[in-house]
């Protein structure tokens, strides 16, 4: 049985990192003019503390004062072939 990978390859044939294409191209705005209004309960951020891009998202969420608008879950720092895992305990 041949299986199809769940995730896009993140490396080229030469071993270089290849950034995946973003699925969200617009901004979240207070007035909703972008089609994505900033309102509580509408958005949820999933992060891994092992990811530097996630750290940037966490910092921006805090600097913009969006903790009450955008809820957040921290996933297990190890991603296997099934994806990210959610665990109970400190730091998750």
Question: Which residues are tagged catalytic?
Answer: 51
CA distances from 88 to 19, 58, 67, 76 (A): 30, 20, 21, 9
User: CB neighbours of 87 closer than 8 A, spacing ≥ 6?
Assistant: 75, 76
Strand partners, 29: 37
């Amino acid at each position: 049985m041949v299986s199809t990978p769940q995730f896009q390859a993140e490396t080229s044939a030469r071993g270089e990192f290849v950034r995946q294409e973003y699925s969200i191209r617009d901004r979240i705005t207070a007035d909703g003019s972008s089609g994505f209004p900033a309102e509580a309960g509408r958005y949820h951020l999933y992060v891994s503390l092992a990811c530097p891009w996630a750290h940037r998202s966490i910092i921006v969420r805090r600097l913009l004062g969006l903790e009450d608008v955008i809820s957040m879950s921290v996933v297990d720092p190890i991603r296997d072939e099934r994806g990210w895992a959610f665990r109970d305990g400190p730091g998750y």
